[in-house]
Amino acid sequence: MGLTLAEKILKAHVVDGNFIKGEEIGLKIDQTLTQDATGTMAYIEFEAMGIDQVRTERSVAYIDHNTLQSGFENADDHRFIASVAKKHGIYYSRPGNGICHQVHLERFGAPGKTLIGSDSHTPTGGGIGMLAIGAGGLDVAVAMGGGAYYITYPKIVNVELVGKLSPWVAAKDVILELLRRISVKGGVGKIIEYTGEGVKTLSVPERATITNMGAELGATTSIFPSDDVTLTFLKAQGREDVWTSMAADDDAVYDEHIVIDLSTLEPMAACPHSPDNVKSIKEIGKMKIDQVCIGSCTNSSLLDMLKVAYILDGKTVHPDVSLAVSPGSKQVLNMMAENGALSKIIDAGARVLESACGPCIGMGQSPNSKGISLRTFNRNFEGRSGTKDGQVYLVSPEVAAASAVAGYLCDPRELGNMPEFKLPEKFTINDNMITLPASPEDAKNVEVLRGPNIKEYPKTEPLADSLTADCSLKVGDNITTDHIMPAGAKILPLRSNIPAISKHCFAVCDEQFPDRALSLGKSIIVGGTNYGQGSSREHAALAPLYLGVKAVIVKSFARIHRQNLINAGIIPLEFTNEADYDTIDLGDTLSIENFKEELMNSGVVTIKNTTKGTVFTAKCDLSGRMKDVIRCGGLLEYTKENLK
C-alpha cells in the first residue's frame, strides 16, 4: 500500500511509538522556530533544562510580535532572546527582518524536513512540502534539546484541487472555501494534504497562504507536494540545494477525500467573529467599511504586495477608510522598494507599517467603535483587533485593496482584466538581519541579559491522589486562546511575567475570574466544544496554572491547547456524556476521590458534584508518556528527569 506525502515524512522521522493511526508517536525534529511573544518563555524553559547547545539542524528565534515597544518590556525581551540565541546555537532574526513564517519560508524551510514552531501558523512551511507543526513553547524547548515531539498519528485528509483560479480569485478563497465546508473544528486530529492538477497552478506563496490558514481548521498541519514550482521558488531564493521532489504515492490511501474545483470559486470573506463564518462577497453585498489592513503571515508575500500595488496604482484610498499595509519581510519590503510597488502603495495613501505581525495581534491599528475592518489576516475572533465591538472580515489582498479604494466591500472582478503577476526569477537576498550564534567555545562567555519583567516558570506540583475543588469558571463552545489569555498592545508585553499576565486571564469572558481563582487556591474550569482553539500560546495554560486551576472539564479540546495543559500539569478532561455540562454551575464543588488512580488506569474519572448531589464521569486519554508527564507535574519536570 502506498504512502501519502505526510506519512512519508512522518515515517522518516518516527523515533518513538508504533506507527499506527490514533496512537501517539514521537518525531525527530529537524528545525524549530520561535517568535518573541512565545519565545521568552520557551527559552526560559530551555535554560531550565540545562542544555548548552541546541541539538536540531537549525533553530531560529524571530522577533515579530512585540515590536511596539511602548515600555521597556518588549525591548528587554528582544535583548534576552538575542543573548540566549547567541549562547545556545540559535539563529536570531532581528526585529525588522519580518514575520517568522514568511522569513522561515524564504530563508530556512526545506521540503521533507520536520519543523515545529511556538506559533500556531507554523504550517506555513507546508507550502514548500515540509511537515511544519505549531506547538507550545515547552514542546519547542524540548525539541531544541534534542527530545522528540509527540503527536497523535493523525488522519490524513486529501484535498484534491482541480481546475484553475479565475482572475481576481485568490489562494485565500481556497482556504476560506475549505473553512466554509468543514468549519474551525473540521481539521482537528487531521493533516490536510493537497494533491491534484490544480496544485501546479499555485505558486509557493499561494500554497503557503493555504497551509498557513489551515491552522484555523484546527488541523495538525497542512502540506503541499514539493515539485517544479517549489524548485523555482527555492532557486529564486538561492536555495535550490535543499530541494527534493516529494509527493504522495499514486496508490496512497487517505482517510477522507475532498475535491475543490478552483475554477468555481469566487471572492469570499469570513464574517465576524469566526474564520469559518464564510460568505461570498456578492452575498454580503456593498457594505460600507472603515478600515483595511493588508499583511500578516497569511498574506504578506511579494506576490500579494504586487497585486495590491497594481490595484492601488494611481488611485487614492477612500476618504472614509484607513488602509494599513505591513509587508511580510525585509526581503518583501526591499523588493517592493526596488520595483516601484511601494511607491504606488504610499502614493495611494496607505499607512505603511514595519514588517511584523502588527494589527493582526492587536499591536496597533485597532478599528473605531463598531468599525468594519477588512483584513487579509487569518483570525477575526471577537476583541482580537483591540476594539471589543470591532467587526473584522477576513479577505484576500485583492478584495482588501479594491475595497480600500471603493470605500465599501467590493468584488475585485469589477476591476476588469487581471494582468499576470509573476514572482521574480531571483529574490533580493540579504541575510544581514539574521545574527549567527556564537561558536560553542565562545558561547561560554556570552552573558544572558535579563530585564526586570522576565520572571520564572510557575511552580508545578506532582499529581495529587484526589482532587476537590470549586468550578471557578463556566464557559461555552469554541473558546479561543484569545479569550483565555488575550493578546494586544497592553497585555503582550507581559508574556515573560506569568504572575502579571495572569491578571488578564479570561478578562474577555469574566473579569472577576483571576481574583476568584486565586482566592479559591485550587479550582476547575468547565467548558464546551473545541475549547482552546486558535493560538499556540502556552500562556493560556500557564496563567491558569499560576491561578491554581487543576483540571479543565470540557466537551472537546483543540489540539495544541490540550497538549499545553498536559505540559503544564493541568488535567484535560472530557465529559463522557456531554449533557452533564448542563448540570454544573459556577461555584459548584467537584470532587474526584480516586483522581490519580483512575487517571493512571482506566483514564475515566468519577466526579461528584457535591453541591448538586450528582455524579458523572469524564475521560482523559493519555499515552504512557503523558501519564508520566502528568505524574511529575508537567513536561518541564519530566524533561529535567528524562532528557540528559
Q: What does the binding site for ligand MIC look like in residue numbers (CB under 6 A)?
A: 37-38, 65, 119-121, 134, 361, 487, 534-537
**Is residue 509 packed enough to be buried (19+ CB in 10 Å), middle (13-18) or exposed (0-12)?**
middle
Binding-site size for ligand SF4 (CB under 6 A) equals 11
Q: Does 217 bind ligand SF4 (CB under 6 A)?
A: no
537 binds, among ligand SF4, ligand MIC, none (CB under 5 to 8 A by kind): ligand MIC
Q: Are 315 and 348 in contact (CB under 8 A)?
A: yes
Give per-residue burial for 566-599: e unless 16+ CB within 10 Å, then b. Answer: bbbbbbbbbbeeeebbeebeeebebbbeebbebb
Q: Are 373 and 360 in contact (CB under 8 A)?
A: no
Q: Does 220 bind ligand SF4 (CB under 6 A)?
A: no
296 binds, among ligand MIC, ligand SF4, none (CB under 5 to 8 A by kind): ligand SF4
Q: Does 318 bind ligand SF4 (CB under 6 A)?
A: no
Q: What is the dihedral of CA 165, 166, 172, 177, to 10 degrees?
A: -80
Q: Which of 53, 221, 222, 296 binds ligand SF4 (CB under 6 A)?
A: 296
Nearer to ligand MIC among residue 37 and residue 505 (C-beta): 37
DSSP string covering 14-61:
EEES---TTSEEEE--SEEEE-HHHHHHHHHHHHHHT-SS--SSEEEE
344 binds, among ligand MIC, ligand SF4, none (CB under 5 to 8 A by kind): none
- Placement of cell 505603511 in the chain: 352
Q: Does 324 bind ligand SF4 (CB under 6 A)?
A: no
Q: Is 394 helix (H, G, I), strand (E, B) or coil?
A: strand
Centre a 10 Å sphere on the Cβ of residue 507 and count the other Cβ atoms it contains. 17
Nearest approach, Cβ of residue 358 and ligand SF4 (Å): 8
Nearer to ligand MIC among residue 75 and residue 242 (C-beta): 75
353 binds, among ligand MIC, ligand SF4, none (CB under 5 to 8 A by kind): none
Nearer to ligand MIC among residue 118 and residue 183 (C-beta): 118
Q: How far apart are CA 546 and CA 457, in angstroms?
A: 9
Tell me, what DSSP letter sits at residue 583? G
Nearest approach, Cβ of residue 296 and ligand SF4 (Å): 4
Nearer to ligand SF4 among residue 360 and residue 479 (C-beta): 360
Q: Are 496 and 66 in contact (CB under 8 A)?
A: no
Q: How far apart are CA 294 and CA 300, in angstroms?
A: 7
Nearest approach, Cβ of residue 131 and ligand MIC (Å): 18
- Placement of cell 520561535 in the chain: 34
Nearer to ligand MIC among residue 38 and residue 183 (C-beta): 38
Nearer to ligand SF4 among residue 226 and residue 296 (C-beta): 296
Q: Which of 119, 482, 574, 580 binds ligand SF4 (CB under 6 A)?
A: 119
In the window 57-76, what residues touch ligand SF4 (CB under 6 A)? 65
Nearer to ligand MIC among residue 90 and residue 620 (C-beta): 90
Residue 420: HSE in the Cβ half-sphere, 13 Å Cα cutoff: 6
401 binds, among ligand SF4, ligand MIC, none (CB under 5 to 8 A by kind): none
179 binds, among ligand SF4, ligand MIC, none (CB under 5 to 8 A by kind): none
536 binds, among ligand MIC, ligand SF4, none (CB under 5 to 8 A by kind): ligand MIC
Q: Which of 25, 302, 325, 361 binds ligand SF4 (CB under 6 A)?
A: 361
Q: Which three cell numbers stand for residue 316?
A: 487614492
99 binds, among ligand MIC, ligand SF4, none (CB under 5 to 8 A by kind): ligand SF4
Q: Are 412 and 268 in contact (CB under 8 A)?
A: no
Q: Which of 104, 121, 555, 627 binds ligand SF4 (CB under 6 A)?
A: 121
Q: Does 378 bind ligand SF4 (CB under 6 A)?
A: yes
Q: Where are the beta strands (DSSP E) in 287-424?
A: 291-294, 322-325, 351-352, 372-375, 391-394
Q: How far apart are CA 596 and CA 571, in angstroms?
A: 10
Q: Does 357 bind ligand SF4 (CB under 6 A)?
A: yes
Q: Does 353 bind ligand SF4 (CB under 6 A)?
A: no
Q: Which stretch binds ligand SF4 (CB under 6 A): 21-29, 224-232, 357-365, 450-458?
A: 357-365
Q: How far apart are CA 510 and CA 390, in angstroms?
A: 19
In the window 80-99, what residues touch ligand SF4 (CB under 6 A)? 99
Q: Does 400 bind ligand SF4 (CB under 6 A)?
A: no
Q: Is 259 helix (H, G, I), strand (E, B) or coil?
A: strand
Q: Are 589 and 529 in contact (CB under 8 A)?
A: no
Q: Which stretch binds ligand SF4 (CB under 6 A): 6-14, 354-362, 389-397, 459-467?
A: 354-362
Nearer to ligand SF4 among residue 118 and residue 460 (C-beta): 118
Q: Does 561 bind ligand SF4 (CB under 6 A)?
A: no
Q: Does 396 bind ligand SF4 (CB under 6 A)?
A: no
Q: Which of 360, 526, 571, 590 binds ligand SF4 (CB under 6 A)?
A: 360
126 binds, among ligand SF4, ligand MIC, none (CB under 5 to 8 A by kind): none
Q: What is the dihedral of CA 498, 499, 501, 504, to 10 degrees?
A: 140
Nearest approach, Cβ of residue 301 and ligand MIC (Å): 17
474 binds, among ligand MIC, ligand SF4, none (CB under 5 to 8 A by kind): none
Q: How far is CA 368 from CA 358, 372, 430, in A?
A: 17, 8, 38
Q: How far apart are CA 418 and CA 303, in angstroms?
A: 14
347 residue type, one letter: D
Q: Which three cell numbers stand for residue 261?
A: 474545483
Q: Which residues bind ligand SF4 (CB under 6 A)?
A: 65, 99, 119, 121, 296-297, 357, 360-361, 377-378
